[in-house]
Amino acid sequence: MNLIQKTRLKLLLHLNIFLLCLYCTSSYPTPMKCTDTSRVCTSFLAFKPRPNQTLAMIQSMFDVLPDEVTVEGNGWEYIFIRKNCSCAAGMKKYVSNTTLTVKSNGGFVHDLVMEAYDGLALLPNTTRWVRKGGVISLSLFCSCSSGLWNYLMSYVIRDGDSVESLASRFGVSMDSIETVNAIDNADTLAVGSLYYIPLNSVPGELYHLKNDTPPAPTPSPSVDNFSVICAIIEYEFLFSAALIPDILDMDKPVVFSHEEIFSSTDGFSDSNLLGHRKYGSVYYGLLRDQEVAIKRMTGAKTKEFTSEMKVLCKVHHANLVEFIGYAASHDEFFLIYEYAQKGSLSSHLHDPQNNGHSPLSWITRVQVALDAARGLEYIHEHTKTRYVHQDIKTSNILLDASFRAKISDFGLAKLVCKTNAGETTATKVVNAYGYLAPEYLSNGLATTKSDVYAFGVVLFEIISGKEAIIQTQGPEKRSLASIMLAVLRNSPESVSLSSTRNLVDPIMMDLYPHDCVFKMAMLAKQCVDEDPVLRPDMKQVVISLSQIMLSSVEWEATLAGNSQVFSGLVQGR
């Protein structure tokens, strides 16, 4: 058998497996009919992690925060993922969305999804190959209760499971499990099938783990190495990459040689230059068969290099640019990140045609805002050591191949401290004019609410398409926030947005829900309030944007029936 025949046979085999899996998943029970596309509920997914899956990896897989993960405390070694669940227009089933970043050497989509989620994800309608670093958009199986129970939990049947054992394990009646899943014969549970467990309380216990390892019998062997590396980075400044051996996989920082960095960027050629950042230039590189972005910093930037490394060793979230590794020579430092294929948000909002981009649809803008808000909320509220980013702006919000947003540039991020008054503060900040909160101008100190202010400016940019600083008549410049606030203060408290319509980005061609735009504008107004106490925290911002997202999806579905097709009218995705 020649190579071509072997390849065709392999593709045919994968296609057959895919069709079989598709048939199996199509037969999964749907306990509650999905008709109300505006409904959102809290659901849970029961997941059994593998020994090498850390909490950070699980968070990324399911797009959740640490406090949305609980652990089963009776030796079953399951964890429970809390997700918002909604009725997907066009699919006629309840789903929750997430993305999977391929960390291995690549593979066929359905193989990767089945291996990662073990039956909890709806298989994408494709048999394509995805290489390392690729991003797969997914829908997870979930469901909303009709009201008889508070929650429904997705659970994949394993060998030895029965209705009786599940009822005993989760403290529910056998009748309730049979009713939810329309089970006629309790002896017909098939291994690998997905069922729903009705619950009246949140399952599991708080997920407290040492060294960020999953609840598995054997902890990850590389965790101690990772801690040692982070300590060396923080206190020794890494004047030579030879200090640390290259022994870590791609889920931990990897040490690269200067020769590898030089070769991957074609000798730092201008054709590989992505742009200039605050503390160095950024280059595109192909490093060990993975697309990466490489920040090049001079040896004089030891402080900034160390500051960014301190943060990058400790924060991992789907909406933060993932740190891959570093390199150092006698006079230069290099930080290597995942490559954001679509570039910065600013390049898509401000004169996108000249930047080679299609206009962003309203749905994409809301999704980007929600992604960025989740990333910012994570470093404010959910990391063990909490941070103020201090440099939130549209040029520091990057978009991947699926237009999912990730916050970048942590060179200015600082630890959050507590004052006697209880206010969180950080050291001096050097954010760009137009994003600066009023309190910084008076006392030079940044707080989490300063980040909220800057995020409010980002929301104004998303709505208007304008930059944070606008050139008015003559040499005068005004901040976008002041212009938007002047209009919003004179607007009636209604959803018509009639007086602010002229401030909405005209490139959207009136293809947006006016009430949702108005709600985002009012949210931005709250974020840039002069009094930091009156500004919402990022958790409240995430909740508000989630509601705006759901309303926007419903609006789009009423116009076209298929949100992805309709969004394509404004921007091909």
Using the predicted structure, report yes or no on whether residue 197 has a pLDDT greater than 90: yes
Band (565; pLDDT cuts 50, 70, 90): very low
Q: Which two tokens stand for residue 312?
A: 């990058």
Across 40-54, 95-109, 417-431, least confident range:
417-431
Q: What is the DSSP string of 77-114?
A: --EEEEEEEEEETTTTEEEEEEEEE--SS-EEHHHHHH
Q: State the DSSP string of 231-247.
A: HHHHHHTTS-GGGS-S-
Higher pLDDT, 84 or 428: 84
Helix (H, G, I), strand (E, B) or coil at 550: helix
Length of the chain: 573
Whole-prediction pTM: 0.58
Who wins on pLDDT, 391 or 17? 391
Pairing of strands 79-88, 69-71: antiparallel
Give the range among 301-315, 417-431, 527-541 with minimum mean pLDDT: 417-431
What would the DSSP string read from start to end of 206-236? E---GGG--SSSS--TTHHHHHHHHHHHHHH
SS3 category, 27? coil
Q: What is the pLDDT of residue 146?
A: 75
* For residues 146-173, average pLDDT: 88
Arithmetic mean of pLDDT, 406-424: 64
Least confident of 31-40, 146-155, 290-299, 533-542: 31-40
Specify the DSSP class assigned to residue 446.
Answer: B
d(CA 548, CA 365) in angstroms, rounded, equals: 11
Compute the average pLDDT of residues 225-247: 36
DSSP calls for 405-431:
EEE---TT-EE-EE-TTS-EEBS---P
pLDDT class of 366 with cuts at 50, 70, 90: very high
DSSP label at residue 482: H
Fold (topology level) of 343-570: Transferase(Phosphotransferase); domain 1 (1.10.510)
CA 488 from centre of chain: 30
Answer whether 223-338 and 343-570 agree in fold: no
Rounded Cα gap, residues 302 and 379, in angstroms: 23
pLDDT at 80: 94
User: Looking at the predicted structure, is the pLDDT value of residue 246 above 80?
Assistant: no
b vs e for 129-164, b when ≥16 Cβ sit within 10 Å of the residue's Cβ? ebebbbbbebbbbbbbbeeebebbbbbbbeeebebe
* 444 HSE (CA, 13 A, CB side): 2
Nearest Cα to Cα of residue 100 among 130, 144, 128, 72? 130
Pairing type for strands 121-122 and 135-141 reads antiparallel
User: Which of 174, 198, 196, 172 lies closest to 186 in space, CA to CA?
Assistant: 174
Taking the CA atoms of residue 110, residue 111, residue 112 and residue 113 in that order, the dihedral angle to the nearest 10 degrees is 50
Task: Give the SS3 label for residue 325.
Answer: strand
CATH level 3 topology of 14-212:
Membrane-bound Lytic Murein Transglycosylase D; Chain A (3.10.350)
Q: 426 vs 90, which has greater pLDDT?
A: 90
Specify the range with the lowest mean pLDDT, choosing from 35-44, 126-135, 414-423, 484-493.
414-423
Whether residue 346 is predicted with pLDDT greater than 90 in this model: the reply is yes
537 is catalytic: no
289: left (phi over 0), alpha (psi -120 to 50) or beta: left
Mean pLDDT of 425-441: 69
pLDDT at 178 over 70: yes
Tell me the mean pLDDT in the region 385-390: 84
440's tokens? 């910084």
> Hey, how many other C-beta atoms are within 10 angstroms of the C-beta on 306?
17
Alpha helices in 343-415 (DSSP H): 345-349, 362-377
pLDDT band, very low/low/confident/very high, at 570 (cuts 50, 70, 90)? very low
Which of 3-7, 90-94, 106-110, 435-439 tops mean pLDDT? 435-439
Helix (H, G, I), strand (E, B) or coil at 561: coil
Residue 224 exposure: Cα atoms within 13 Å on the Cβ side: 2
Residue 199 predicted with pLDDT over 80: yes
Better-scored residue on pLDDT, 502 or 8 = 502
Distance CA 59, CA 68 (A): 9
DSSP percent split of the chain into helix, strand, coil, nearest 5: 40, 20, 40
Q: Pick 126 or 240 by higher pLDDT.
A: 126
Q: Tokens 């709600």 belong to which residue?
A: 519
Whether 321 has a pLDDT exceeding 60, the answer reads: yes
DSSP secondary structure code for residue 384 in this structure: S
Q: Which amino acid is at 21?
A: C
**Domain range summary for the chain, segments of one domain joined by +:** 14-212, 223-338, 343-570
Phi, psi of 425 (to 5 degrees): -135, 165
Indicate the average pLDDT of the chain.
77
% of residues, the chain, pLDDT over 70: 74
DSSP annotation of 396 reads G
CA distance linking residue 243 with residue 255, whole number of Å: 9
Q: How many CB atoms lie within 10 A of CB 496?
A: 12
SS3 437: coil
User: Confidence band (pLDDT; 50, 70, 90) for 451?
Assistant: very high
Could you say which of 3.40.50.1220, 3.30.200.20, 3.30.420.10, 3.60.21.10 is the CATH number of the domain covering 223-338? 3.30.200.20
Q: Which of 251, 391, 451, 529 is catalytic?
A: 391
* Strand-pair partners of 295: 282, 335
**What is residue 474's predicted lDDT score, i.e. its pLDDT?**
67
Q: What pLDDT, on the 0 to 100 scale, is given for residue 301?
A: 61
At 372 the pLDDT is 96
Q: Are 480 and 470 in contact (CB under 8 A)?
A: yes
pLDDT at 395: 92
State both tokens at 470: 């606008």
Is 471's pLDDT higher than 50?
yes
CA distance 290 to 249: 13
Q: What is the band of 84 on the pLDDT scale with cuts at 50, 70, 90?
A: confident
> How big is the CA angle at 364 (ends 361 and 370), to the nearest 5 degrees?
145
Q: With bands split at pLDDT 50, 70 and 90, how would you rate the model's confidence at 422? A: very low
Distance CA 198, CA 382 (A): 28
Taking each helix axis from N to C terminus, what angle separates 362-377 and 448-464, rounded to the nearest 10 degrees?
A: 170
Least confident of 114-128, 242-256, 323-337, 375-389: 242-256
Half-sphere exposure of 439 (CA within 13 A, CB side): 23
Highest mean pLDDT among 85-99, 330-344, 523-537, 543-557: 523-537
The predicted structure's pLDDT at residue 28? 39
For residue 306, pLDDT over 80 is answered with no
Question: Is residue 234 scored above 80 in pLDDT?
Answer: no
